A and B are shown apart, each in its own frame.
Chain A
């Protein structure tokens, strides 16, 4: 049985977007704060901090989850993907980012990392979704700027681009 004392700062090792990272966390530290303040990956945004808004969505071992509802110590040893990992190797936009850019699917951009990380898993499970399916899939991500229409259009475009890419590679 592994017991971590409340006042101690305990080592947490993760693989973040393919790169090993290490930091220290009290047991109560949320994964959001660990990513932002220990690792310095500030692309994951913090808003409601109780699992309602989806702004902090990241992927843990492939699954899209709310990082504010995960303790850093729970993520020890996990592979984590964040918005910082979505760009191409040369730094240009990946298909999800490009589709949001082209469709004006963000205004202030605060919620965007969460939307993209949700879609990143969802479009792997459902590569050719309907508008209704996208609405349900994205119902756990809140955007107070766009009114969602552009986000849905961008999601359809991104799904198409990802299908084409998959078709090309194999």
Chain B
């Protein structure tokens, strides 16, 4: 299908993009890579009056190592981040997750921040943002605010971002010495949305597990210590607590089993080494 008519605004700087959002509010949508928005436009699931294109903005296409964190600008593509030389050491879990984000042809255009703002519950990048406890910088004509991951994604395709706000960058904490990570997902075909995706982090005795594809957003569970004989019970409790439902891709029971199975594999992988700094 074809999109319904809209006006097209090509912003030439951040201020122009913010001004266009201030003028049009919830009648406008931001277009960056378009790999989530364009399918919805083509199927007329969304019918904005105005598209504000930020894809070409050089000041949003930066990946900045800020010391403790990495800031990823709104125009940085998933492929661009995958090619960033510092990725494997600074953000090992993102390096492991990125090959699962769509296909290389969609990663060539799709942006990191776009995926985070689209907020699909089974997407890999929102899962990484949740596990790492990252944050999102939001700019509007009203000012600038920074929203932590746990408050940013609120549900299915729903975030804390107001219609007049632009997500300018996502900020992800870098792996610290001794931290270990693992990422795993189950999908029916490579490049499909994950049925269940998990990302694990081990820091000393403490273990965190983020789960996507089950609840209506990625959920993170943290244990101060998780000895081997407690692992199965802990994951079983988590699988039930996430409250997944049946859909065309999998039953709730299948999803619970995937949480137990992938969760165990990922957590054990962090103990065995996993991807670390």
Q: Which residues of A contact B (CB under 8 A)?
A: 1-7, 26-28, 30, 33, 49-51, 54, 57, 63-66, 68-71, 73-74, 118, 122, 135-137, 139-140
Contacts and interface: CB of A to CB of B under 8 A. Distances in A.
Given A1-B20, A69-B39, A122 B3 contact: no
A64 B108 contact: yes
Given A57-B105, A74-B55, 16 more contacts: A1-B10, A1-B20, A2-B12, A4-B10, A6-B5, A26-B5, A28-B2, A30-B42, A51-B38, A51-B39, A63-B108, A64-B104, A69-B39, A136-B99, A139-B190, A140-B105
A101 B204 CA distance: 57
Interface string B12-53: 100010011000000000010011001101110000000101
18 contacts: A2-B10, A4-B8, A4-B9, A6-B5, A6-B7, A27-B8, A28-B2, A28-B3, A30-B42, A63-B79, A64-B104, A65-B105, A68-B38, A71-B8, A73-B10, A118-B104, A140-B103, A140-B105
Nearest to B20: A1
Contacts of B12: 1-2
B58 interface: no
* In the complex, the 4 A-B pairs of residues with the closest C-beta atoms, listed nearest first: A140-B103, A27-B8, A50-B39, A69-B38
B39 A3 contact: no
B191 interface: yes
A54 B105 contact: yes
Nearest to B37: A69
Contacts of A5: 7
| Listed residue (B8, B43, B102) with the most chain A CB atoms within 10 angstroms of its CB | B8
B142 interface: no
Given A3-B7, A6-B6, A140-B103, A51 B35 contact: yes
A28 B5 contact: yes
Nearest to B83: A125
A96 B5 CA distance: 38
B38 A28 contact: no
| Listed residue (B7, B55, B189, B191) with the most chain A CB atoms within 10 angstroms of its CB | B7
Contacts of B109: 63, 65, 69-70
Interface residues of B, number: 38
Interface in B257-273: none
A27 B191 CA distance: 29
Contacts of B102: 140
A57 B106 CA distance: 10
Contacts of B215: none
Nearest to A27: B8
Contacts of B11: 1
Nearest to A64: B105
A70 B35 CA distance: 9
B44 to A, nearest CB: 11
Contacts of A49: 1-2, 42
| Listed residue (B1, B12, B16, B190) with the most chain A CB atoms within 10 angstroms of its CB | B190
Interface string B91-106: 0000000010011111
B48 to A, nearest CB: 11
Contacts of A50: 1, 38-39, 42-43
A56 B3 CA distance: 17
Given A1-B10, A7-B5, A51 B190 contact: no
A120 to B, nearest CB: 11
B4 interface: yes
A6 to B, nearest CB: 4
Contacts of B1: 49-50
A49 to B, nearest CB: 5
Contacts of A64: 104-105, 108
B108 A73 contact: no
Contact of A3 (B9, B34, B38, B99): B9
